[in-house]
């Protein structure tokens, strides 16, 4: 199934690729990228389900939805609608935050988690941001934090269609709505992560300027069964900059048997 699915009165734009075990993949602040190679790589061994979050892409944003927690509930209902009692889960950046919230609410519904440069918890001192303020940075500086190679990866607004440009602006507005205050975290989430039952792999590009290695390690320690790994020659979006290495790391982890 693909296209618009109505959940809780919200028209969600949902893309699907491939066959096999169900894998729910939650995008980051840049939205879902249907033309990127990672979709084909993952869908060679999985049924990959990629919803656009409410307020991102072409998905609707109702007046009542204003938090990551709200989106987590919407996606649990999406799983019900699709007849998926259990799934594997990949969450990228803000999608990692959504994934973490989902896995604390219904831990029995997730077999494994891949958390890609996730945000969502506060690990450092109260007087300093754990993640740089993306809303205060000039575009060129933000691109340097996002990408290992900004010249290859960064979008040129002048080259975008009016529709694509409006989606970029809409994505940023929605990100501000759900992640501005408190900035990029839910103060309660860190106290719930002990409920996550599934094994988790935390991935980070070695040149990520937004999610530091210290932050990733501290985040992973909040889960009962988590480990970390690094993708070489990638920034904050290793799934886009290094899709082959990312897919290999994710699928190797998802396919591995649990130790007895």
> Could you report the per-residue pLDDT of 187-221, keeping only the tens digit for each?
999 999 999 999 999 999 999 999 999 999 999 99
259 has pLDDT over 80 = no
> Could you report the per-residue pLDDT of 26-43, keeping only the tens digit for each?
999 999 989 899 999 999
pTM above threshold 0.95 = yes
Residue % of the chain over a pLDDT of 90: 92
Q: With CA atoms as reference, report the closest residue to 31 among 103, 117, 95, 116.
A: 95
DSSP per residue, the chain: --EEEEETTEEEEEEEE--SSEEEEE--TT---TTSHHHHHHHTTSEEEEEPPTTSTT----TT--SHHHHHHHHHHHHHHTT-SSEEEEEETHHHHHHHHHHHH-GGGEEEEEEES--B---S-TTS-SS--TTTS-HHHHHHHH-S-HHHHS--GGGS-HHHHHHHHHHHHHHHHHHTTTTTB-TTGGGTGGG--S-EEEEEETT-SSS-HHHHHHHHTTSSSEEEEEETT--S-HHHHSHHHHHHHHHHHHHSPPP-
138: confidence class by pLDDT, cuts 50, 70, 90? very high
258 has pLDDT over 80 = no
> Could you report the per-residue pLDDT of 45-70, keeping only the tens digit for each?
999 999 999 999 999 999 999 999 99
Name all domains of the chain by residue range, CATH numbers in brackets: 3-255 (3.40.50.1820)
> Could you report the per-residue pLDDT of 75-103, keeping only the tens digit for each?
999 999 999 999 999 999 999 999 999 99
């Amino acid at each position: 199934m693909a296209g618009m699915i109505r959940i809780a009165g919200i028209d969600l734009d949902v893309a699907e690729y491939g066959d096999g075990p169900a894998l729910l993949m939650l995008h980051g602040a840049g939205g879902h990228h249907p033309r990127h190679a990672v979709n084909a790589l993952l869908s060679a061994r999985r049924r990959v389900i990629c919803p656009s979050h409410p307020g991102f892409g072409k998905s609707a944003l109702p007046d009542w939805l204003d938090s990551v927690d709200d989106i987590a509930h919407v996606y649990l209902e999406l799983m019900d609608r699709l007849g998926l009692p259990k799934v594997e889960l990949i969450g990228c950046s803000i999608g990692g935050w959504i994934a973490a919230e989902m896995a604390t609410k219904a831990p029995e519904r997730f077999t494994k988690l891949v958390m890609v440069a996730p945000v969502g918890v506060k690990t450092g001192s109260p007087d300093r941001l754990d993640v740089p303020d993306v809303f205060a940075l000039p575009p060129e500086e933000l691109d340097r934090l996002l990408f290992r190679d900004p010249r290859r990866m960064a979008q040129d607004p002048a080259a975008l269609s009016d529709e694509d440009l409006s989606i970029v602006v809409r994505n940023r507005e929605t990100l501000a709505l759900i992640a501005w205050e408190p900035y990029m975290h839910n103060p309660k989430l860190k106290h719930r992560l002990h409920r996550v039952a599934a094994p988790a792999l935390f991935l980070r590009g070695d040149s990520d300027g937004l999610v530091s290695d210290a932050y990733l390690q501290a985040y992973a320690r909040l889960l009962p069964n988590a480990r970390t790994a690094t993708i070489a020659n990638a920034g904050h979006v290793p799934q886009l900059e290094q899709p082959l290495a990312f897919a290999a790391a994710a699928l190797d982890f998802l396919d591995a048997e649990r130790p007895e």
